[in-house]
Structure 1
Amino acid sequence: MSAEQSLTAVMEPSIIFKPVAEPNVPQFLSTAEAARMLGLSTTLVQTLVDQGELKGWKTRGGHRRISLDSIQDYQSTSRSSMGMSLKSSVKPRVTVVVESAQLMEQLMTANANWTIPVEVTFFDSVTEALLELSSKRPDMLVVEMSMPRAQQEKTLQALENFNNRGRSPLSVVLITKEKDLLSTNAVGSTSSIQVISGPMSPIWMHAYLTGVVASCQI
């Protein structure tokens, strides 16, 4: 045998028996490792395996092996469910301004009997409500305007100025009996201030709050 043949014979085994990495090999964790990864107790992890929410099995020695893919899928599902739960648990905040004492009493009484998941704050003065906006900003503002037209125009202008200060615009609904009271931003641009015909009533408010909840769930 020549020197070249001898060298080939020595090198061939290392080439033939060189391990080849298998792609996409599934990874598995022990119960304790899965528990640490999920932040759960080992007992709860075992229950999740028994219920089929995690994929796993027992070795001959009685030890569980849990699929890493199923653990990651469970984490993704849990985050999504938690996000939806948090979103649904946060009540939208609506500030309602009513200058009529009689209507205010009717609305507050009706709201106390409703089970609509909305946090409603009542004010009997537009000025007080505007001051409150600086410290506790609601998601929406509803103003029943029964004051003289000149004062209604000033209220509308004050709200437009508030929305133009650089922050995200506040959604506002103004209820008035004035037919031609319009937001100056309504022409040529999308205005967050909506002017609608009155009068305001508990029936209207119930429908409005129901719509608020529906829009928050989309």
Structure 2
Amino acid sequence: MSEQSQLLSTRQAATLLGVSVRTIQLWVEQGLLSAWKTPGGHRRIVQESLLSLLHKRQKLHPLTYVLCVNLESAFFELLQALCQQWNFPVELQQARNTVDALLMIGERKPELVLMGFDQPGIDMQLLQIELTQHKVKLAIIASDDPQPGLTMNMMWLRQPFEPLQLKTELQKLLFARLQGLG
């Protein structure tokens, strides 16, 4: 994400959080939101601080639900720790296999399904089509380059795992979700 896209005006932040511009200004002055002023005196809010504040305000109701399918326990725990460290309002759930994932999706639709590319018996193109129709984003973890035809509407996370790449992709997802709620 470029530095420009990580910044919001006070009006944009107010709209996303459903509060007044003055409330955003007060939160900046109180140190609840990180911001800086342009040479013209306009505040620019750091998106990451807005996500952190949102996480604190919505402890019981995460903004985004991510279903992790067939990931190793240690990796899943790492993802949980990273989301907590970043103060992202994300709920992660672990499905042990694709059958569990289908049952869990039937109970509650995630905004993102995160899985390895090498899932036995799964047609990735068909899965992507189905998830896209239901407005669920797919994230694939793979050591190979993205497969042609599979990258549209999909996150492709490289192995070895780079937390910054996931952080950037989750920020995009969270802000898209936040804007969709507004």
SS at match of 2:110: coil
The aligned residue for residue 138 of structure 1 is 110
Inter-CA distance 101–136: structure 2 relative to 1 (3 Å threshold): same
Higher relative contact order (CA 8 A, sep 6+): 2
Per-residue deviation, residues 41-72 of structure 1 (Å, max 9, x unmatched): xxxxxxxxxxxxxxxxxxxxxxxxxxxxxxxx
1:163 and 2:124 aligned = no
How many residues were matched structurally?
126
1:95 matched to 2:72 = no
List per-residue Cα deviations over 1:85-134 (Å, max 9, x = no partner): 6xx76612222335223322322233333311222223343332233112
CA contact under 8 A between 2:111 and 2:135: conserved in structure 1?
A: no
Aligned residues of 2:157 and 2:166 also touching (Cα < 8 A):
no
* 2:157–2:165 contact (8 Å) kept in structure 1: no
Q: Distance in 2 between matches of 1:121 and 1:163?
A: 17
Report % sequence identity.
14
Alignment gaps of 5+ in structure 2: 1-13, 20-53
**Structural RMSD (CA):** 3.6
- How far does the alpha carbon of each residue in 1:189-217 deviate from its partner, in whole angstroms, 9 at most, with x for none? xx434445433344433332222223334
Q: Give the match for residue 18 of structure 2.
A: 84
CA contact (8 A) 2:80 2:92 kept: no
Quote the offset at 1:136 in angstroms.
Answer: 0.7
For 1:216, the aligned partner's letter is R
Q: Compute the TM-score of the two structures, normalised by the length of structure 2.
A: 0.50
Correspondence 1:154 to 2:122: yes
Distance 1:107 1:138, change over 3 A: same
- TM-score under structure 1 length normalisation: 0.44
- Select the structure of larger CA radius of gyration: 1
In 2, Cα distance between the equivalents of 1:206 and 1:213?
10
1:181 aligned partner: 147
Paired letter, 2:104: E
Structure 1's unaligned 5+ residue stretches are 1-79
Name 2:174's counterpart in structure 1: 213
The CA deviation at 1:181 is 3.0
User: How big is the shift at 1:159?
Assistant: 1.5
